[in-house]
Each structure stands twice: as structure tokens, then as C-alpha cells.
Structure 1
Amino acid sequence: MGIIKFILITLLILYIIRVIIRLVFPLVLRNLFSKVQQQAEKQARQQNAKPEGSISIDYMPPKDKTGKSDNLGDFVDYEEVK
């Protein structure tokens, strides 16, 4: 008799947990997705906050150092051999 009572109580508790999860889980997911969507919209608004037609340069390559021709080396005459 004790084993049957234990099994019935266990099944009842599992059924109640299952019903609660079916009711609560979608609400938690909706809330989570809503927050993620709001953060994405906020980030998109921040990136598009620049006025139209403005130019922004994120990277400028370093300029090559131009030296005097004296420092570049010796010039060697070239003759083409046929």
C-alpha cells in the first residue's frame, strides 16, 4: 500500500510540475526575447544616430615616410644584354 501511495504522489507532483512549466516557461521566454530585441533596437539606433551625409573614418592607414633621394641608395646604370 505504501509503494502505491508513493507512486501516486510522485506522479501527481510530476504532473503539477509539468503544468507549471508549460505555463511559466513561455512567459519567461517572451520576457527574455523582448529584452534582447529592445537591446538590439537600442544598439541599432545608436549606430544610426549620425546625420545623413556625414562621413566617418574608422581607420586611417599610416602614411609612408618619404625620405630624401640621397638616403634611398645608389643608382646603378642598367644595360640590356641581348
Structure 2
Amino acid sequence: MWLLRMLAKLLLPFLFKKMVSKAQEKFKTSYNQQTFGGQQQYRSEPRNNGKISIDFIPPKDKEARAADKAGDFIDFEEVK
């Protein structure tokens, strides 16, 4: 029993570290395949820090435009 306890103290930390590192590698590979489609994609143009570029502005629907013209709304509490 004593020998089994000593072996467990020596081997279990090593086995857990190995198991965790395998899980990390598996997660990294699955994440890279999902985000990049299995390939690394790099932009051909360098990005300028501090500048904003907008590629697409979705059109506003009629309800959103009507809410913009409705005026100011004031929050209040009802006092009894």
C-alpha cells in the first residue's frame, strides 16, 4: 500500500501535465481550423493604427428611422 501511494505521488502529476498539454494542443488545432479554415490568412495591406475603416453600413429600417424622429424620452418614476 505504501509503495502504491509513493508511485501515485510520483506518476500522477506527470500524467496530469501530459493530459492537459494534449488537451491544449487539441483545442489549438480545432480553433485554428475553425477560424482560419485550416490555412493562415494574412491581410495584404498593413493596417494603420488609430484609423477606422468602415466596409459596410447596413440600411436603417423604417421603425428605426421613426424612433430617431420621435423626440426625447424622459425616464420617470411614478410617486404615489
Q: TM-score range by the shorter chain?
A: 0.3 to 0.5
Whose Rg is larger?
1
Larger fraction in helix: 1
TM-score normalized with structure 1 length = 0.42
TM-score normalized with structure 2 length = 0.43
